[in-house]
Chains A and B, each alone.
Chain A
């Protein structure tokens, strides 16, 4: 049995979705514990991917392919789990702020968060305070992430934080910000809970904030 777990982890690492699904299905059919499949097969595989990415031995497209492979297995196991056993790192709402159309970085942050097990709600571009407010009410995320790539639009991040305060929601949700013109200083200045310079560190930041 332990052999299949190693094989499963290995297939996640090399990003073979078909193989992961096949192994997962075989394990399920032969009566393996679904929690074991996840915690000793799929997730350890993804952990190796994360570690290798950090030291520059794996690249973004490979990480995403591994995440897709892992999720292929997850989808098969999920129906067998009790709600409280469902692995989720937390929920994050992401959006590019009002007047800004740059979404590549924000989308990458989303993909990397998903790879790390977060549930991501992507609001797209041109998202003003109202859109974030509505999404918080609807999705109840642990974190909202605002992205801005223009020095003109970064100023509107503060507006969103102000609106959250007015609505009494500021303590209910962590606010993180990012994008090329953003710095830790700016995050401190507008009272955000965190800043990350790239997608990999955004994932670490979210883990830290929800820990």
Chain B
């Protein structure tokens, strides 16, 4: 009971007292050490929270899971058939008992991802039905080799912090394609894995694989190399499999991401605030059950909150409303001090074109600004219908740029550069100065993909556009990058687990 989310009135960590004075002592000096953006004020968060409690107490949710119903009743929820309404105290108790941080490790138990406060980490998207081949441009159903290749690319890209499967492989047993994909991710990269499961049976096999890699369940709990996500059904419904997976993860004491996918105007209110309220009611009611199974079990609050385009009936992964609701969800996760799962780096465009670039640039910056911890779906195209490795590579570049933006401008004696300005004086130049030499790399972001060159050299290269540059980089990564191999013994053991399924 460390948290007191109701009294969270301060900005979390964006403002800090300046450590270094200029030359003289100063009082009450406050500095922005990174960019600031806050969608809701504290009062607005409290108002939204109050609405969520009201929805849970007045409307409630449907739960299609006998054991969860019994658990809810025992915890003091009002159970009426499958409809469950929650007293505010029970919801708030669950918010408090969920840990305020979740750490994910890589395959070698190096702690890499610290989901807390405003920290943000980017990674790709899962399960798409198609993938756009980066070299042929063909849109096709993914096969297991695509998962392996994508995993190697994720391993190589510096700004991609975790892996997801990037498409459901179709050339394997379809009922266990989740397990095949998990095995592929374990084999091809050391980066932490965010994955999913059709059901608890497959989940158990995958946890067993992760245990085989970590050494024991306890070691896996201590340094989890994976988190699993599952999704309630909007509006306000918990289907069996999703809740069962969340409950199993609580029993394992391993991180679960509970992430609804409400569509404004269809399965949720058209108003953005109402959509966020409903999404929170869905994830927090899941949290109540989850915390009852095991108090303190790690929980990450998700939500791919969107709207449907009312002409094409396609959902959007890049509209301004989508970006705003993602930021709103994350603001609420911070208010609750529960790690958040957010979405960016994705596009509604059908090809890696101008629209895709604008979508990705906008939503990556928005997501980073909101500080939404585990940000997935980089490389998603056409509203989540396909993935693109070209787009993932471009996303990596955009994230690099975004990280620089978020760092903001440091203001101190060295950066104000008074001595350098004096040394150069009027009419001189800085290019040979030691101050330049010492600082330009520290302060500037260097593109690896974006072309800042002159027209002549661009023309000489055959006038490549961004997508072509991405493919070129991809070819080099695939040729040169050697991911660390999983040792043969463990590799065999996880294969045995899959075969035994």
Contact = CB atoms under 8 A, between A and B. Distances in A.
Contact of A152 (B177, B313, B385): B177
B141 A198 contact: no
A181 B266 CA distance: 21
B313 A151 contact: no
A20 to B, nearest CB: 22
B310 A151 contact: no
B174 interface: yes
B129 interface: yes
A155 B313 contact: no
Contact of A151 (B168, B239, B266, B311): B168
B265 interface: yes
Most A CB within 10 A of own CB, among B263, B266, B313? B313
B310 to A, nearest CB: 4
Contacts of B239: 101
Interface in A146-180: 151-152, 155, 180
Interface residues of B, number: 21
A56 B311 contact: yes
A104 B129 contact: no
B310 A61 contact: yes
Contacts of B175: 152
A48 interface: no
Interface in B170-215: 170, 174-175, 177, 198
A4 interface: no
Most B CB within 10 A of own CB, among A61, A155, A199? A61
B174 A101 contact: no
A181 B129 contact: yes
A105 interface: yes
A104 B267 contact: yes
A67 B270 CA distance: 20
A104 B263 contact: yes
Interface in A17-67: 53, 56, 59-61
A150 to B, nearest CB: 8
A133 interface: no
B457 interface: no
Contacts of B311: 53, 56, 59-60
Contacts of B313: 60, 105, 108, 198-199
B312 interface: yes
Interface residues of A, number: 16
Interface string A100-118: 0100110010000000000
Contact of A104 (B168, B266, B385): B266
Interface in B301-346: 308, 310-313
B310 A60 contact: yes
B293 interface: no
Nearest to A107: B266
Contacts of B267: 104
Contacts of B263: 104
Contacts of A108: 266, 313
Contacts of A152: 174-175, 177, 198
Nearest to B237: A101
A155 B175 CA distance: 12
Interface string B121-151: 0000000010000000000010000000000
A35 to B, nearest CB: 33
B156 interface: no
A24 B235 CA distance: 36
A96 to B, nearest CB: 12
B170 to A, nearest CB: 6
Contacts of A56: 311
A61 to B, nearest CB: 6
Nearest to B234: A104
Contact of B265 (A53, A61, A199): A61
Contacts of B174: 151-152, 155
Interface in B30-72: none
Contacts of B405: none
A178 B267 CA distance: 20
B406 interface: no
Contacts of B486: none
B79 interface: no
B17 to A, nearest CB: 50
Contacts of B497: none
B307 to A, nearest CB: 11
A151 B177 CA distance: 10
B90 interface: no
B466 interface: no
B310 A59 contact: yes
B477 interface: no
Interface in B223-279: 233, 239, 263, 265-267, 270
A108 B175 CA distance: 28
Most A CB within 10 A of own CB, among B174, B263, B265, B385? B174
Contacts of B266: 104, 108
Contacts of B141: 151
A115 B57 CA distance: 35
Contacts of A181: 129
A17 B379 CA distance: 45
Most A CB within 10 A of own CB, among B175, B311, B312? B311
A60 B181 CA distance: 37
Interface in A100-148: 101, 104-105, 108
A146 B129 CA distance: 19
Contacts of A199: 313
Contacts of B310: 59-61
Contacts of B129: 151, 180-181
Interface in A171-209: 180-181, 198-199
A60 B270 CA distance: 13
A155 B198 CA distance: 16
20 contacts: A59-B310, A59-B311, A60-B308, A60-B310, A60-B311, A60-B313, A61-B310, A101-B233, A101-B239, A104-B263, A104-B266, A104-B267, A105-B313, A108-B266, A108-B313, A151-B141, A151-B170, A152-B174, A152-B175, A155-B174
Given A60-B308, A151-B170, 20 more contacts: A53-B311, A60-B310, A61-B265, A61-B270, A104-B263, A104-B266, A105-B313, A108-B266, A108-B313, A151-B129, A151-B174, A152-B174, A152-B175, A152-B177, A152-B198, A155-B174, A180-B129, A180-B385, A198-B313, A199-B313
Listed from nearest, the 6 A-B pairs whose CB atoms lie closest are A59-B310, A152-B174, A60-B310, A181-B129, A56-B311, A198-B313
